[in-house]
Amino acid sequence: MPTYPGDPPVTLEPFKQIGKGSRSNVSRLSLGDHTGTHFDPPLHFIPGGKPVDQLDLNVLCGLARVLDFTRVEREITPRDLERAHIPRRTTRLLFKTHSSKLWDRTGFQRDYVGVGWDARSG
């Protein structure tokens, strides 16, 4: 699984093993919080923002509006969001980008689509 350069690697190590006398096999899994598909809590970019363990994760469950940004090459801009005509009462957004295809490659890919800094507020 790709990990962001400089982040901790994924490690899986045996903790208990039947072959060494244990009644079951148990492993220890270690990974950075940016491994694979993940959710960034406000604390990731906002000093004093809430960490994931202080969020109501129910806000992540339910109907969502999917915005097709597959034409975007690198960065979702405020103009892209304006053109999407997002209804005011929208509570959840999912951005469909070409980044999903990056999982077909080996290693971390730097040509993913992100949300531009100037498009992150409001």
pLDDT tens profile 1-54 = 677 788 898 899 999 999 999 999 999 999 887 777 667 788 887 899 999 889
Across the chain, which distance is largest between two alpha carbons, in Å?
A: 62
Band (pLDDT 50/70/90 cuts) for residue 63 is very high
Q: Is 8 domain-assigned?
A: no
With respect to residue 2, please indicate whether it lies within any of the assigned structural domains.
Answer: no
Question: Average pLDDT over the chain, rounded to whole?
Answer: 85
Domain of residue 97: give its range.
Answer: 56-119
In a domain, 81, yes or no: yes
> How many domains does the chain divide into?
1
CB of 70 closer than 8 Å to CB of 98: yes
